[in-house]
Structure 1
Amino acid sequence: GLLTLLGTPVSDPTRRNLSVAYANTGSDAFNAGVAQITAVFAQVQADITPRVQVLAGLRYDVFSLDLEDRRVANTGRREFSRTDRIWSPRLGLLFRPVEPLTLYASYSVSSLPASGDQFAGLALSTEALKPESFRNLEAGFKADLGPRLMATGAAYQLDRENTQALDPATPGRIVQTGAQRSTGLELSLTGKVTERWEAVATLAVQSAKITRQTSAAPVGRRAALTPELTASVWNKVEVTPRVSIGLGVVHQGEMYTSISNAVTLPGFTRVDGAVFLRLGEDYRLQLNVENLGDISWSPTSHGDNNIMPGAPRTVRLSVSRGF
């Protein structure tokens, strides 16, 4: 067969006029697929009263995917297809009791076909799977606290259904048995507190749990990589017309690394800083320091035994010019 690797001596690494043949091994993906998407939607926005506004919409999608597995090693079925017909409604309500305050509530449904985002993974194990569905119910507010300071908040409930799991009785087969619910609260404050002080502050509290048992997790187990508390605040203060300083704090609570809930990723609090210097009318010098305290932290992981470490103290210097 064709060689996939060709040795090259370090003393003479340059190669010219060398024919290169690209070949797939038996385990490599080698697919040809055609996706056809047809969609129609309608949306209406109406003022019920001067203070009440309604937004309603409906979308209908027909998603068809035909895929051929061209791997030489594949001696079984080679052609797969699936067609999904999806309704996606949305409804929203805005209410302005007073001019600086806006209240809203919304409900929406969206779907993701089982073949995935890249539409290249259709196989015998996924051909019959229904699209994952997402139902989101949300209510919140927006308030102008001053000419340039705004506060927002939202409470939500997100239900995810048709989640996928491995069939414990048939290795390699995927079945749909799962569902999970995420509930949370988000608050933010953005804008200028004073003429010289800009601030951005966010707070999020969430809970994501399994609501229908799967082969991988029972009801009540927490979803992976979903901290119950996250918060951040960033401040920028203008010391002089040419010099500004920034200071921020990022906090992330502990979370589980996978759906097994066997390994906990510790929470962390990281401090960042910055100095901004304006050079003349067009140039700006900026110094950013991330992780000022040089703490050990881990923002995420790829399973129970593949934890991603955060960067140590990192310094970046940049020069920019305006036109």
Structure 2
Amino acid sequence: MATRFLSIPLLFGLSLPLTTWAQATSHAAARHVQQETGTLTGRIQLADEQAAESVSVLVKGTSLGTTTDAEGNFRLQAPAGWLTVAVTHVGYVTQLLTVQIKAGEAVTLPPLTLAKDQRQLSEVTVMGNRTINEKPVAAGKLPVRPLDLPQSIVTIDQRVLEQQQVLRVSDALANVSGVYVMGTTGGTQEELASRGFSMGSNNTFKNGVRYNNGALPEATALESFEVMKGSNAILYGNVAAGGIINLVTKKPRFQQGGQVGMRVGSYDFYKPFVDVYGAVNNSEHVAYRVNATYENARSFRQGVSSNRFYVNPSLLFKVGQKTDLLVEGDYLHDERTPDYGIGTINYRIVDVPRSRFLGPKWAYNNTDQTSLTTTLTHRLSDTWQVRLLGGYQGYDNDQRSTSRPIGVLENGDWSRSAQGSQTMQDYFLGELDVTGKFKTFFLGHAVLVGLDADKYNTTTPSYTAVAYDKINILDLDKYKQRADMPALSLASRNHTPIRRVGAYVQDLISVGEKVKVLAGVRYTYQETGTKSLAYKDYSITQSKRYDDAFSPRLGLVYQPIKTSSVFASYSNSFVLNTGIDRNGGALPPSTLNQFEVGVKNDLFNGALSANVTAYHIVNDGQAQTILQNSPSFNSDFPNAQELAGEVTSKGLEVDILSKPYQGWSLIGGYSYNHTSYTKSNIYEVGSLLRYNPNHTANLSLFYTLDHSILRGLQAGFTAYYVGERQAGRSTRQVGSNGQPINDTFKLIPLSSYTQFDASVGYAYQRLTLRLKLSNLLDKLSYNAHDDNSINPIAPRQLAATLTYQL
């Protein structure tokens, strides 16, 4: 009988027979260690239900020891025999355990809870895990503290995500200053922005691989939520200047554990979920983790519903003492009703019920998304490491609906058309990173050298819109709506392949203990092709363009004390332009220059982190149409553009985050942003860009009782403020002929609002129940895209989540 094995693709086609290979590796390594050692595993909890990260587990009388991870789990290889193990943590009573370790076997301790040391409580100010300034972020590629980097970085860990019952990525933004929702086009995705610039799919990552955020990412599988603000072009190429988001999913563990749970909420919301992990067949070399969830819900919008399934399996292979292979995959199937909001009349938001839906009953938006990431990490020494990453993502979206509400008459009448769209995309990535530390004379170096190559294959069939029916958005009973879904014919099929390759080097140079200099540069080369087939006459058009750019980065960090730093940096990024120049050639990329200064502080022995950042970003080569009265105008190419416009973004950000202290934890932030046209031949100089609030602020306060009969009771409060914004369409001062015009375009002002959420929870042994009341004051506001997708925010809603720890 033939031996069956699992084959996993690694870096575009290399296949590994993992089961056979892992067994051979496991047996070879085991022959050496099983004669003398065994494995001790367990999980530590703190009396106040806080995360027991960095708890020390030491074998007395030896130099052997380890610390717990973010969930309190530990794994320690120890000599066979009877051992005394000390479990210690600052502010808690040390516990001594006597255990017997047998050669080649694994011993798992029952869950252990550390009690507070009342004698030390008055002197202790720091309890919990590392601060946001101490914990390196995976998206940074270089394993150094954020305190040492000249850049604003915020990480929201799993404990906060669970406390706040984060359902969507936008929920987590209530913990990060200056990152906000700029639109929810069709209600099928969340368009995020930072510092005045959109954070689209090019700026969204999952485990370091670009992620198409055309579908709503699943939050239940997240281990942390990383935001690196500002320019990250040196690491990832042509990303927008505002920053990047990296979604870090939960990783495999060798300790057995997990949780099952159920979330229910308003409007028939149901979401069961499961998360299990452990060693494969008690192996010391292969671990697994599986997250899965199903979601079914209606909406406060009448006729709108959603249905989705998500699964996220992963495997970790300990190939040897210095080599790890992590294989992560996920699959999302998402079905929801496309919803373009309540409509506008002559650029005015319509006063209609918040629940009014203007689409047809048959409308649908279906998305299937699959990803696979393999990460091979080899430690050359204690200071040098090689990381090889391969990634694939498949994205398939199909939508049918009526058109966006454009051209609504003053009396509310609107003639709808039926339309369809489809996107099919395959994305591949290969990346090699080498990191290391060394010294030259009195200088210390932390170096990153890398190569990456990726490609997109995107196909977008388009359909011919057809007239459908007439409705009145003020009175839906005025006309009888059609109920049938019309057939749509293909109009064209567009194929857009993109090939990109980059090389980068970065060095964090330590000049003594107080001064650090970060210097680096990236070179990116990109090919973009287009091939369009028009079905009406079966004509084919093709084109190809070639772009390249250098992205330098330079920063200076001064640390007067070990827990504080002052920094300044310069970096640039680039964005591709799709137009043509005056001679009909490809328009070159636009380069954005960014300057950033800031202060980072870990105060009160690390109990509170407080960071302040100021920035100034200039796109002095924004693409704009060449007007007919311009000396650059060429009548042979009347739609040509030139890089003569300018957009400037400037602002200030404050981020505050505390460790848990005597049951209390705090997250706060404030941002000011001003993004405007500072040079334009069409728009008024000084006018603001759309969707960007001048001010945002956030505050989250949580308290956990760790004494009395109510021990385990939790209460939390979150406030999120979004300042005034504007949607609609920016008013043009002149037409394409260069003459003043009475423009029909108008901006739509969106008023500021503050949303309050309240939550309460209770944890008893393995059970935890959490209740959340969102939008406590039932505030009404909108997320908007142009003038044709004005989506009200959700009203007051109640959610309950019950989890059981396995």
Above 0.5 in TM-score?
yes
Code of the residue aligned with 2:552 in structure 1: it is P
- The range that moved more, 234-243 or 300-309, is 300-309
Task: Give the distance between the partners of 1:233 and 1:69, measured in 2 at CA.
Answer: 49
Task: Give the distance between the partners of 1:224 and 1:242, measured in 2 at CA.
Answer: 45
**In the alignment, what sits opposite 1:253?**
723
Deviation readout 1:19-75 (Å, 9 max, x if unpaired): xxx986567451234322222222122112220011101111111122211223367
1:283 equivalent to 2:770? Answer no
**In the alignment, what sits opposite 1:158?**
617
Deviation readout 1:148-190 (Å, 9 max, x if unpaired): 2111110001112443456676999463443211100001110
2:587 aligned to 83, 104, 129, which one? 129
Code of the residue aligned with 1:236 in structure 2: it is F
- The range that moved more, 239-248 or 263-272, is 239-248
139 and 289 in structure 1: CA distance in 2 versus 1, 3 angstrom threshold: same
- The range that moved more, 55-64 or 144-153, is 144-153
1:263-302 matched pairs, under 5 angstroms: 263-280=748-765, 282-298=766-782, 300-302=783-785
The percent identity for this pair of structures is 23
33 and 309 in structure 1: CA distance in 2 versus 1, 3 angstrom threshold: closer
312 and 24 in structure 1: CA distance in 2 versus 1, 3 angstrom threshold: closer
**In the alignment, what sits opposite 1:309?**
792
288 and 44 in structure 1: CA distance in 2 versus 1, 3 angstrom threshold: same
Task: Give the distance between the partners of 1:245 and 1:172, measured in 2 at CA.
Answer: 62
1:47 aligned to 503, 510, 515, which one? 510
**In the alignment, what sits opposite 2:308?**
none
Task: Give the distance between the partners of 2:622 and 2:539, measured in 1 at CA.
Answer: 27
Q: Which protein is richer in strand relative to its size?
A: 1
Code of the residue aligned with 1:307 in structure 2: it is I
1:228 equivalent to 2:694? Answer yes
Task: Give the distance between the partners of 2:595 and 2:685, measured in 1 at CA.
Answer: 22
Contact 2:753/2:781, CA 8 A, preserved across alignment: yes
**In the alignment, what sits opposite 1:88?**
551
1:144 equivalent to 2:144? Answer no
Task: Give the distance between the partners of 1:321 and 1:138, measured in 2 at CA.
Answer: 45
TM-score (norm 1): 0.81
1:183 aligned to 641, 647, 650, which one? 650
Code of the residue aligned with 1:287 in structure 2: it is L
**In the alignment, what sits opposite 1:4?**
none
**In the alignment, what sits opposite 1:209?**
676
| TM-aligned CA deviation for residue 219 of structure 1 | 1.0
Code of the residue aligned with 2:527 in structure 1: it is S
**In the alignment, what sits opposite 2:112?**
none
Contact 2:507/2:518, CA 8 A, preserved across alignment: yes
29 and 72 in structure 1: CA distance in 2 versus 1, 3 angstrom threshold: closer
| TM-aligned CA deviation for residue 127 of structure 1 | 6.5
Contact 1:164/1:174, CA 8 A, preserved across alignment: no
**In the alignment, what sits opposite 2:165?**
none
Contact 1:180/1:211, CA 8 A, preserved across alignment: yes
Unaligned runs of 5+ in 2: 1-421, 423-460, 465-489, 629-634, 732-745
2:524 aligned to 61, 75, 87, which one? 61
SS class of match (2:587): coil
1:71 equivalent to 2:560? Answer no
Contact 1:80/1:124, CA 8 A, preserved across alignment: no
Task: Give the distance between the partners of 1:76 and 1:191, measured in 2 at CA.
Answer: 62
Task: Give the distance between the partners of 1:29 and 1:214, measured in 2 at CA.
Answer: 34
304 and 165 in structure 1: CA distance in 2 versus 1, 3 angstrom threshold: farther
Contact 2:533/2:539, CA 8 A, preserved across alignment: no
| TM-aligned CA deviation for residue 274 of structure 1 | 0.6
Higher relative contact order (CA 8 A, sep 6+): 2
**In the alignment, what sits opposite 1:17?**
none
Q: Which protein is richer in helix relative to its size?
A: 2
Code of the residue aligned with 2:565 in structure 1: it is T
1:100 equivalent to 2:563? Answer yes
SS class of match (1:292): coil
92 and 297 in structure 1: CA distance in 2 versus 1, 3 angstrom threshold: same
Deviation readout 1:78-110 (Å, 9 max, x if unpaired): 111110111100011111012221111111111
320 and 134 in structure 1: CA distance in 2 versus 1, 3 angstrom threshold: farther
127 and 196 in structure 1: CA distance in 2 versus 1, 3 angstrom threshold: farther
Contact 1:201/1:233, CA 8 A, preserved across alignment: yes
**In the alignment, what sits opposite 1:237?**
703
Pairs aligned (count): 293
SS class of match (2:653): strand
Larger CA Rg, structure 1 vs 2: 2
Unaligned runs of 5+ in 1: 1-21, 116-121
| TM-aligned CA deviation for residue 196 of structure 1 | 1.5
**In the alignment, what sits opposite 1:14?**
none
139 and 28 in structure 1: CA distance in 2 versus 1, 3 angstrom threshold: farther
Contact 2:498/2:528, CA 8 A, preserved across alignment: yes
- The range that moved more, 265-274 or 97-106, is 97-106
123 and 243 in structure 1: CA distance in 2 versus 1, 3 angstrom threshold: farther
Contact 1:96/1:102, CA 8 A, preserved across alignment: yes
| TM-aligned CA deviation for residue 130 of structure 1 | 2.0
**In the alignment, what sits opposite 1:10?**
none
SS class of match (2:793): coil
Task: Give the distance between the partners of 2:726 and 2:665, measured in 1 at CA.
Answer: 35
Contact 2:580/2:587, CA 8 A, preserved across alignment: no
SS class of match (2:534): coil
SS class of match (1:70): strand
Task: Give the distance between the partners of 1:29 and 1:201, measured in 2 at CA.
Answer: 49
Task: Give the distance between the partners of 2:614 and 2:519, measured in 1 at CA.
Answer: 20
Task: Give the distance between the partners of 2:610 and 2:678, measured in 1 at CA.
Answer: 33
Task: Give the distance between the partners of 2:793 and 2:571, measured in 1 at CA.
Answer: 36
Task: Give the distance between the partners of 2:638 and 2:772, measured in 1 at CA.
Answer: 48
SS class of match (1:36): strand
Task: Give the distance between the partners of 2:662 and 2:498, measured in 1 at CA.
Answer: 53
Code of the residue aligned with 1:71 in structure 2: it is A
| TM-aligned CA deviation for residue 193 of structure 1 | 6.9
Contact 1:206/1:227, CA 8 A, preserved across alignment: yes
| TM-aligned CA deviation for residue 315 of structure 1 | 1.1
25 and 250 in structure 1: CA distance in 2 versus 1, 3 angstrom threshold: closer
SS class of match (2:560): strand
Task: Give the distance between the partners of 1:286 and 1:167, measured in 2 at CA.
Answer: 58
Task: Give the distance between the partners of 1:256 and 1:141, measured in 2 at CA.
Answer: 31
Contact 2:504/2:520, CA 8 A, preserved across alignment: yes
Code of the residue aligned with 1:163 in structure 2: it is Q
1:10-25 matched pairs, under 5 angstroms: 25=463
Task: Give the distance between the partners of 1:295 and 1:36, measured in 2 at CA.
Answer: 46
**In the alignment, what sits opposite 2:684?**
218
Code of the residue aligned with 2:727 in structure 1: it is T
